[in-house]
Amino acid sequence: MADLTQHFHKGSEVEISSNDDGFRGAWYAGTVIRPASTKTKTTNTTTNNKKLLVEYKTLMADEGGKKPLREALDVVQLRPPPPRESRRSFKFSEEVDAYHNDGWWEGVITEVLENERYSVFFRGTREQLDFGSEELRLHREWVKGKWVPPLEGEEYPTSIDIRYGYDMDMSPYLKCLCFIGQRLSLMLPSEHRQPKGPSWQIDRAELSSEEEVKAGIAGFY
C-alpha cells in the first residue's frame, strides 16, 4: 500500500473529506498543521503516523466565525487540491463538483441552461440546484497518487514511457499512437532510430473497434 503521507507535509494545502452525516460527498479546503499526537497512559506524547492535524479554511469552530476548525484525520481523508484548469463548458450527464455550502460537492449535470449556467443534481441530498460555470469543476478522484480522469496534458504517455514499454492503462486510441510511432521509427535509417526497448503489444482487433483509430493506422498496414 502506497505511503500517502508522502504527499502531505506541514503547510501542505489539501482538500478534506468527512464521514460525518450531512458532510459526506463534500471536499473542503484546508492546511496540514502537523502530524497528530496522542497521549499514552504514562502521559507521554507520541506521534500517530496515520493521522494529521488539519485546519479548515472555510469551516469554523466557533459561532463567531473567527476560529478555524481543526481536526486530527486519517490521511485517507485527505488529497491535494486539484490543479486549476481553464474555464470550460459542461455537458448533460457530466460528473462535476459544485461549490456549495463552503465545500465542493459531487453532482451530475441534469440541464444546460443559458448564460453558462447549469442544473446540478446531488445524489446524497436529493437536491437539484443551479450554478454558474465558475462554480463548477470536472469531478475527479485521487487514486494512487494520480487524478482520474487525468488532467489536461497528462493523458498521453511520454516518449520514454513508449520506448521502454512501461505499464500504462492506455485506451485503444493511445495504443494506436504508440503503434504509429513505432512504424515511423522503422522507416528511419538505422542510425537515426531510437534504442530498442520492450515492445508494446497491441490488440489489432481492439484497435479496429475505434473509428478514428481505423483512419489513423490505415496507411501503415
What does the pLDDT look like over 98-128, one tens digit per residue?
A: 999 999 999 999 999 999 999 999 998 899 9
The Cα 119–Cα 131 span in angstroms is 6
Which of 52, 79, 106 terminates a domain? The answer is 79
- Say which residue the cell 456549495 belongs to: 100
Half-sphere exposure of 82 (CA within 13 A, CB side): 22
Which of 108, 128, 148 represents a domain boundary (last residue)? 148
Q: How many domains does the chain have?
A: 3
Domain assignment present for residue 116? The answer is yes
pLDDT > 70 in the chain, percent: 61
Same domain, 165 and 209: yes
Distance, in Å, from the CA atom of 20 to the CA atom of 174, rounded to the nearest integer, reads: 41
Residue ending a domain, choose from 46, 79, 112? 79
**Quick check: is 86 in a domain?**
no
As a whole number, mean pLDDT of residues 138-155 equals 82
107 and 62 share a domain?
no
Task: Determine, yes or no, domain membership for 20.
Answer: yes
The whole-number pLDDT of residue 79 equals 96
pLDDT over threshold 60, residue 150: yes
Residue 106 sits in the same domain as residue 168: no
Question: Would residue 84 count as lying in a domain?
Answer: no
pLDDT at 172 over 60: no
C-alpha distances (whole Å) from 204 to each of 103, 126, 156, 180, 208 are: 45, 44, 20, 13, 6
Give the span between the Cα atoms of 157 and 166, in whole angstroms: 9
Higher-confidence position of 91 and 2: 91
Q: Please, are residues 98 and 116 in contact by the beta-carbon 8 Å criterion?
A: no
Q: Does residue 1 carry a pLDDT above 50?
A: no
Q: 133: helix, coil or strand? A: helix
Assess if residue 88 is contained within a domain. no
**72 and 12 share one domain:** yes
Residues 125 and 65 in one domain: no
pLDDT confidence bin for 20, thresholds 50/70/90: confident
CA distance 62 to 174: 52
Judgement on whether residues 210 and 185 belong to the same structural domain of the protein: yes
**Three-state secondary structure of 9-56:** CCCCEEEEECCCCCCCCEEEEEEEEEEEEEECCCCCEEEEEEEEEEEE
Residue 173 lies in a domain: yes
Residue range 186-198, pLDDT digits in tens: 444 544 444 444 4
Does a structural domain hold residue 30? yes
47 pLDDT band, cuts 50/70/90, is low
CATH of the domain at 101: 2.30.30
Position 87 in a domain:
no
Domain that holds residue 136: 95-148
- β-partners of residue 118 are 112, 131
User: What is the predicted pLDDT for the residue at 45?
Assistant: 57
Q: Do 73 and 111 fall within a single domain?
A: no
Quote the pLDDT of residue 153: 56
